[in-house]
Structure 1
Amino acid sequence: MKMLGLPLTLFLLTGCAATVNNTSSSAPAIKTSAASAKNITLNLSGDKQHTAGGDWEKLKAAWQYGMKTAASGIGAGYSEQEGKPRATGQDGTVIAVQIKDYRYIGTGTRYGLGAFSGNAFVDANVKFINARTGALLGERNYNTTSSAWQGIFSPMTDKQVEALSNEIVKEVQSK
């Protein structure tokens, strides 16, 4: 029985994987090259309603961690950029994430309140910008959500952002 306890506990703490929806399926392909994946620069923004919210810093930290992890997963350098998205003068891609809407649900909230914590979600518009020239390579809309009725198995915001980051960085890899 002890052997079953640890794996079961670990399973309960990991939750289910987040599902990412790319609502731009009819959009033209992102125009990438091998140079596009050398460096990833995250530029995260949102309107005042979102950036002034109490959970904005938590969401921002989740995006920074998620994108840094996704970038290192493909062997790319990683940096962050504030203000208006702009060229960096080096090979790579500026990932300009505009948060359209979100509801941050953290691990403690989800485990403590389960279904009563509500649904976590992220809705974002992402522009892929050539880091050397500043040219727009393409644009996508991504979203992810969880159902509170999954209880503690439902993916929290940090897991959703990790999944979003992985999908976004995959777009940058040359095809």
Structure 2
Amino acid sequence: MCVALAGCAANVERPGSAGGNALQVPARAQTSVALVVRAASPELARSADWQALRGAWRDAMAEAAKTAGKQFQYLEAEPQSTPAGSTLVVVQVKDYRYLSTGARYGLGVMTGNAYVNADAAFYVGPGRTPVGQRSYSTSSSAWQGIFSAMTDKQLASISAAMLKDIDGG
């Protein structure tokens, strides 16, 4: 049970990743990360909170990269190539429910559960050499009450897991 006001950390599930091969990211490409977040469907991209989700993911990865001592760049669109010495992470969000921590505190369990279900493709530069794919999913639980991990904490956990995967895992 979580008792700190900061809330529970989110558990990241990696469907289909059990026993999978580590990403083959060369050491020279582990120090710089670029992120693109896109929707798997036009309906997701038209969601009222889609830009909030993208912004939260940008912020989460920026913080995770800073903590890990990596350079970070957020890209609005997918580039044709990846710069030398960096890893490009292209996230395709398959489904999500965006909930802010404020909504959970204000409305409690009546807000429902936050979740994120996404696939990520990893490329290294120069060029655009694919080094692997991963799936990530998280969810909150009404049983955790106001301390349940909302979208921002879930994205922070997924971002940290992605960086761990880049580092070999």
TM-score normalised according to structure 1 size:
0.88
| Aligned pair partner of 1:102 in 70, 84, 96 | 96
Q: Distance in 2 between matches of 1:102 and 1:131?
A: 30
- 1:93–1:129 contact (8 Å) kept in structure 2: yes
Tell me how far 1:88 sits from its aligned partner: 2.8
Give the corresponding residue for 2:14. Answer: 22
Q: Which runs of 4+ in 1 moved over 6 A?
A: none
Provide structure 1 residue ranges, at least 5 long, that are not aligned to the other structure: 1-7
The one-letter code of the counterpart of 1:109 is: A
> Between Structure 1 and Structure 2, which shows a larger proportion of helix residues?
1
Could you say which structure has the larger radius of gyration?
A: 1
Q: Distance in 1 between matches of 2:28 and 2:66?
A: 15
Q: Distance in 2 between matches of 1:81 and 1:131?
A: 15
Give the corresponding residue for 2:28. Answer: 35
The one-letter code of the counterpart of 2:96 is: Y
Identity percentage of aligned residues? 38
Q: Distance in 1 between matches of 2:65 and 2:84?
A: 16
Tell me how far 1:86 sits from its aligned partner: 3.5
Provide structure 2 residue ranges, at least 5 long, that are not aligned to the other structure: none
- 1:36–1:174 contact (8 Å) kept in structure 2: no
Q: State the number of aligned residues.
A: 165
Q: Which segment drifts farther, 109-118 or 72-81?
A: 72-81
Give the corresponding residue for 1:51. Answer: 45
TM-score normalised according to structure 2 size:
0.91
Give the corresponding residue for 2:110. Answer: 116
CA-based RMSD of the aligned residues comes to: 1.5
Q: Distance in 2 between matches of 1:153 and 1:174?
A: 31
Tell me how far 1:85 sits from its aligned partner: 4.8
